[in-house]
Amino acid sequence: METQTLKEAAVDFLTRVVAGDIRGAYERHIGDGFRHHNPYFAGNADALRRGMEEDEARNPGKKLDVQVALQDGNYVAVHSRLRRSSSEPDIAVVHIFRFEQGKIAEAW
């Protein structure tokens, strides 16, 4: 993998997920022992990945417009506008990532 800043890695992860390349995003950016804090899924990588894949199957063609990415040490926050379909308004989304050794270790 070429050298990326943590902000670039976080944005690349989200961009790949929204484009439907969920497995590729996980292979490239998710570290061993990853955990997340999405209350709709078990807190491990596999459960969240499956949920993302199911959402992609139900809602293909989403659009992500990153507004700003901020880094503080090994934490990155990404504020985006997400459009799930042309019939729905954009929604504001903030993802927070904690990195370890260049990989996403935790997500909110």
Query: What is the dihedral angle through the alpha carbons of 75, 79, 42, 6, rounded to the nearest 10 degrees?
Result: -30
- pLDDT, position 1: 41
Longest pairwise C-alpha distance within the chain: 40
pLDDT tens series, the chain, 108 aa = 455 899 999 999 999 999 999 999 999 999 999 999 988 889 999 999 999 999 999 989 999 999 999 999 999 999 999 998 878 899 999 999 999 999 999 999
Whole-model pTM: value is 0.92
Q: Which two tokens stand for residue 48?
A: 């969240």
- Please give the Cα distance from 27 to 31 (Å, whole number): 9
Rounded to whole angstroms, the Cα distance separating 27 from 23 reads 6
